[in-house]
Structure 1
């Protein structure tokens, strides 16, 4: 069905709901259709509007929690999941696990997440999703021992659970190509029975393990296989489309924005740039300072940006008033305040926010931006060696990664021209080589005193939810600089 046809069908279902507000089947159809149309906010609002007609229906409360969770309305989602539990929903271990995932991924509270997963396991000790998510939470905490323990607990219960072996690869360093984990993962890949999505992850894991032990030719073969397979799951990257987006952004966000003098509380500090360019490392180091809170990858502006792109960047810019932008900014500050309860600097680390700086600056005139960068080929390889989602579909080709990086450099030059000193660039290789100088420069810019504890960032106990989780649990090392030379013969 065409997009217009889907829209017409959704409007028809919504009208029927107005006439039959007690019809749960209609509500499920409408919410599912809105979700299919990639409108999670509308799906959640539909369920939230009509769920009071089904107060005693555990399944309806569960579905409401699900749609609210997808829309990022986490506190409300938990409330409805808890109502489903109170109504005696079957398989309560699934509900507790979903609550744990909200705490883990949405509210960034691993302590509460782990309590929810353990509650699920109290009800059903062999419930694999809870074990798997519990292992994942310990990995984010930097606890290799507990992470490995629970991934192995998954394997004890389901020896063919391939993804548990994949995740073990993150916490395991292979010593040779005959490593037992490598052999097991190869058996999965060569058996040909795993779903495509799992084969992709297995190939990436095998690339990582062979890179560990210096088997670079085999590592490249597996990474190439992983990216070739991954490319089949998403639309091909279109450089002309990306260039058009770049020019549209530049055309619509050209006017400087005057700061109000640092009056915002909390103080928003955005860390962005190319994926795998050192943004997680920098956030960990900055977050060790008493006056800075690590916010991680917040979804507020990326969610808004999806709405902006659906409407059209030009149309949105023309209709949005200064008061509208101020309201967006206030909503963001309240969102951060509720999440972290901190009045100092709070970092928001989303690499792809570099494309949103114009929108963010209009909403938050006092915002400051750090853009991380890295040696070109090292950055390209690190992206190529990481499985990224469909929104980063350039990542399946080194040539496309280079082309994307070139466009981001044009965009950075534009933001530097428009926003001047509110944009600072931090070079990963310089940070690793001389962290005190690089961090000192950032603290001076933020008008903060130097604190030596920022050099002990690897000892922090916060959760890290990016592919860099294990890199930032170690003291600074320089081995990632110049890594491209191991694969030089494969690079043009």
Structure 2
């Protein structure tokens, strides 16, 4: 049975949701074709999500507005429009849409999470009371209750109630971590990665066209999004987001077979990495490079370099305490199970640093390591080094609205599109020295 046709023909929400979860955006777009599907509010919502997934934000915004023209009281459409405006750096548009979504559905946690990019919420106000009620409602799933606890943690910390806020975060992390399989709670790197050395790369015969990937990677909250935004100021570079092209390219190859299979691919002038990036929505946008900022690429860079030593790579890292706190304060939608306990987060940071040092020592690629602290205190110097890595002259700086400084920063959140690098989060973890002791101990033990 054709899921797309079924979804489009009878408005089957489950089918549309499945396509969105599978990130099959072309099929989702076909399933919500307005000429064949019932144009309900749900139709416009899923069609807009498909367009967002295909990196067509203007078309997505138009889609949401078309849906709201037919049903102006639909809270999910207002929320989707507000979240999109937030991503695009449109503060007034985001605030208007999100406040409307909140008024229509004051129990939606995603709406509060988005609003916190723009305005504070009182830790003892009515919104906090609603969020607390969700956290205490045992009829809800652990994931939903944990989501509420993470939001309560942010409200308390932003109000200066650090101890209370950390207690909320710890409870949310426990709920989330306890639901994960044991094997998903650690950040594991195979020792075979560290056996890839300079001789390994020198021994591979290559005759391949260049891959347009520009890999920017590291753990989440280490500055990848900021680096991507700086790079995307140049017309030769497209911001591709967390596409995870390296993972996609070799997902079906067993780890022990990777070096042999990739050597065979190089000898036959085939590259699974080139093929993977051809599937990106911006593959044909005319840019010379396509940034892929997925954390999942970090352990796979060595395999990529076997075939593409010409591809530039940027590795991002951050002071362990600040990074650990940012991870612990973040409720990820999927993956990153190591972030839900302080000890596992500390070990993950140490492992990632060890791998970054290894790649810096052995990779044949043009490579730059960017420290978060340097990125936000010297953005112009970092910008110059990034473009020097690519052999490009830095483009003129884009004009920034004065509203850019009004975007609110918090350790768990990526900056908005209009937010310039700012050092306000440096040393934020020092406020939690006692609470972070288990993370620091695990990090130091794993670093020796």
Common fold by TM > 0.5: yes
1:60 offset after TM fit, Å?
9.5
Residue 200 of structure 1 is matched in structure 2 by 146
Task: Return the alpha-carbon distance in structure 2 between the equivalents of residues 204 and 225 of structure 1.
Answer: 8
Q: Is the 8 A contact 2:377 2:423 kept in 1?
A: yes
**Highest RCO, 1 vs 2 (Cα 8 Å, sep ≥ 6):** 2
Deviations 1:61-106 (A, max 9, x none): 9887766555444334322331xx43454x63322211111112x2
Q: Give 1:273's match in structure 2, choosing from 200, 205, 218.
A: 218
Residue 9 of structure 2 is matched in structure 1 by 58
- DSSP-derived class of the 2:120 partner: coil
Task: Return the alpha-carbon distance in structure 1 between the equivalents of residues 7 and 95 of structure 2.
Answer: 41
Residue 160 of structure 2 is matched in structure 1 by 214
The within-5 A match list for 1:285-324 is 285-308=230-253, 312-320=254-262, 321-323=264-266
Q: Give 2:116's match in structure 1, choosing from 169, 173, 176.
A: 169
Q: Is the 8 A contact 1:285 1:454 kept in 2?
A: no
Residue 438 of structure 1 is matched in structure 2 by 382
Deviations 1:301-359 (A, max 9, x none): 33345433xxx211344345225773423324533585451232321111221011123
Moved more, 157-166 or 248-257: 248-257
Q: Is the 8 A contact 2:214 2:312 kept in 1?
A: yes
> Is 1:482 aligned to 2:433, yes or no?
no
Residue 15 of structure 1 is matched in structure 2 by none
> Is 1:374 aligned to 2:318, yes or no?
yes
- DSSP-derived class of the 2:316 partner: strand
1:480 offset after TM fit, Å?
0.9
Q: Is the 8 A contact 2:7 2:15 kept in 1?
A: no
Q: Is the 8 A contact 2:243 2:280 kept in 1?
A: no
User: Alpha carbon RMSD of aligned pairs, Å?
Assistant: 3.5
Q: Is the 8 A contact 2:214 2:311 kept in 1?
A: yes
> Is 1:138 aligned to 2:80, yes or no?
no
Moved more, 115-124 or 375-384: 115-124
Residue 35 of structure 2 is matched in structure 1 by 86
1:151 offset after TM fit, Å?
2.7
Moved more, 57-66 or 328-337: 57-66
Q: Is the 8 A contact 1:223 1:384 kept in 2?
A: yes
1:287 offset after TM fit, Å?
1.5
Q: Is the 8 A contact 1:286 1:454 kept in 2?
A: no
Q: For residues 210 and 134 of structure 1, do their structure 2 counterparts lie closer, same or farther at Cα, with a shift above 3 Å needed?
A: same
Task: Return the alpha-carbon distance in structure 1 between the equivalents of residues 396 and 154 of structure 2.
Answer: 33
Query: Which residues of structure 1 form unaligned runs of 5+?
Result: 1-26, 28-46, 461-465
Q: For residues 242 and 181 of structure 1, do their structure 2 counterparts lie closer, same or farther at Cα, with a shift above 3 Å needed?
A: closer
TM-score, length basis structure 2: 0.82
Deviations 1:106-160 (A, max 9, x none): 2122211112222222333333332221221122122333323323323333343
Task: Return the alpha-carbon distance in structure 1 between the equivalents of residues 7 and 215 of structure 2.
Answer: 44
Structure holding more helix per residue: 1
Q: Is the 8 A contact 1:373 1:426 kept in 2?
A: yes
Task: Return the alpha-carbon distance in structure 2 between the equivalents of residues 471 and 411 of structure 1.
Answer: 29
- DSSP-derived class of the 2:363 partner: helix
| Aligned residue pair count | 427
Task: Return the alpha-carbon distance in structure 1 between the equivalents of residues 276 and 205 of structure 2.
Answer: 17
Residue 96 of structure 1 is matched in structure 2 by 44
Q: For residues 298 and 168 of structure 1, do their structure 2 counterparts lie closer, same or farther at Cα, with a shift above 3 Å needed?
A: same
Task: Return the alpha-carbon distance in structure 1 between the equivalents of residues 83 and 383 of structure 2.
Answer: 30
Task: Return the alpha-carbon distance in structure 2 between the equivalents of residues 330 and 161 of structure 1.
Answer: 41
- DSSP-derived class of the 1:170 partner: coil
1:414 offset after TM fit, Å?
2.6
- DSSP-derived class of the 1:490 partner: coil
